[in-house]
Amino acid sequence: MSQPDQHRPHHTQRWLVPIALVLAVVMWPALAAGCSDRSPGSLTPVASPTPPGDSGGKEPSATAVPKQASITFTVWLPPEIASLSVPSDGRPELYAKALAEAAPLPEDVRVAVSTKSANGKGNMLESVLATAPVLPARLPHLILLDAAELPALVAGGLAQPIVGLDEAAYWDTLQPFAEQAVTFDGVRYGAPLCADLVLLAYDNTRINTPPSTWQELISGTEALVLPGTGPDAVDTLLTFYLSEGGAVSTSDPVLDTTALAQALGAYQVGRESARVHADSVSLTSFDATWSAYLAGKSHMVVTSSRQVLEYRDDAPTTSITRLPMSGRRSVSLVRVLAWVIITPDTDMQALALAYIAASALPEQQQLLAQRAFHLPAVASELDESIAGPWRASVIRLLATARPVPPCIACSTLEQALEDASFSVLSGTASPIQAASLAAVRSSAQ
């Protein structure tokens, strides 16, 4: 019979304690490592330093080097320029981004583009003037503006002088009128990008010699289509007003009532003799007059170079010249779109200058002209691929063209002229009445 466990010899129990101690010593490192992996409060071992340039055979940690914060360069553009798509390495790309790459801007600079209309309520000028006093930090660094509106920004201290663009590489390459459009009191406050020329287009299979004076128009048999209201009616009437010896002061938009009444008198005679097409009174833009011309309502039309170049395939028998003058002076008007630097920060101004310089590069001027149909500000880029069969005529007109007169209160002046044009063409006011009212309205600040 076996004995109970409690009666086993005591020498067996004496070996158990030393064996347990040995096992504890042997197993302790493994147990400690396992516990450290699972314990939320355990310390993580620090890796040995790795020599510079040696990753130790491992991928570098994504958080090892802090990512540099990007710089936002803000540009305000008219919608047709902001949405303009150009080819770049076989893929479509926004024109604004193509300029940033052509500059080239530093990699940490991000270009942010906002759109502001060129005219109407809330346009580019109004947006800048409204933002400046209440949210100056929201002002853009660079804008593209109708150069005729520059004096308002200069007077408000918002347009920064353009200093730093190379004379030979930029200013000396421009069209004859371009620098004049952005220079005030001898200081350049803008950098021209492109332009649109006001002109007379006619069907050369129907009209051998277009009228060069208003008297020739009246004595002829062909009616002229022109915009009677809307922003483009202003450029049309301004052309006749300047040909009559009128002027527009930059600081004080007071109109010469006599010169304006004579220009409007030509409108009245044209309407009464049916040499100004009856539909003109309701046509609000150069697009509208061009459409009327293509529809065959008349074989002569007041429009701009932009319409002719964009729809060249629709008008293979069209020739162009300057408008028939109502007065003694020969005038061709051109509207200029110019870059304007708003930011006073010198670092951001440097980015703006690089951006502007890139826009004058041949490839960028060509892309803009071929996609948006504006005339390039750089004279050498006006080739046949842009101007087609009208190249010689456009160059001739641009040689003597003058920019639309700049003024501080452009919107007030333009509304006064637009109303005067409409009232005479609609027969609701005489030329003298319309001119007098326009003079009063234009001087109201």
Which pTM value belongs to this model?
Answer: 0.83
Same domain, 236 and 354: no
Query: Are 217 and 346 in the same domain?
Result: no
CB count within 10 Å of CB 131 equals: 17
Higher pLDDT, 99 or 59: 99
Q: CATH number, domain at 125? A: 3.40.190.10
* Closest among 361, 378, 376 to 99, alpha carbons compared: 361
Residues 369 and 430 in one domain: no
218 and 328 in a single domain? The answer is yes
Same domain for 309 and 260: yes
Residues 179 and 206 in one domain: no
Q: Is residue 9 part of a domain?
A: no
**Is 33 domain-assigned?**
no
Give yes or no for a contact between 320 and 390, defined as CB atoms under 8 angstroms apart.
yes
Judgement on whether residues 183 and 268 belong to the same structural domain of the protein? no
Confidence of residue 392 (pLDDT cuts 50, 70, 90): very high
List phi, psi (to 5°) of 408: -70, -45
- Per-residue pLDDT reduced to its tens digit, 288-302: 999 999 999 999 999
- Range(s) of the domain holding residue 432: 196-334+404-443
Helix ranges (H only) for 54-186 are 79-82, 95-102, 124-134, 150-155, 178-182
Q: Which residues contact 374 (CB under 8 A, 6 or more apart)?
A: 193, 194, 195, 196, 306, 337, 368
Quick one: 324 and 361 in the same domain? no
- Between these two residues, 169 and 32, which has the higher pLDDT value? 169
How many independent structural domains does the chain possess? 2
**Residue 32 lies inside a defined structural domain of this protein:** no
Q: Are residues 320 and 172 in the same domain?
A: no
pLDDT of residue 169: 94
With beta carbons less than 8 A apart as the criterion, state whether 141 and 351 touch.
yes
Kindly state whether residues 111 and 255 are assigned to the same domain: no
The pLDDT value given to residue 344: 97
pLDDT top residue among 16 and 145: 145
Q: What is the DSSP letter of 271?
A: H
Would 64 be classed as within a structural domain?
no
SS3 of residue 195 by DSSP: strand
Q: Is residue 339 part of a domain?
A: yes
Does 161 lie in the same domain as 85?
Answer: yes
The answer, yes or no, to whether residue 58 has pLDDT greater than 60, is: no
Q: In terms of domains, do 214 and 99 share one?
A: no
* Residue 63, pLDDT above cutoff 90: no
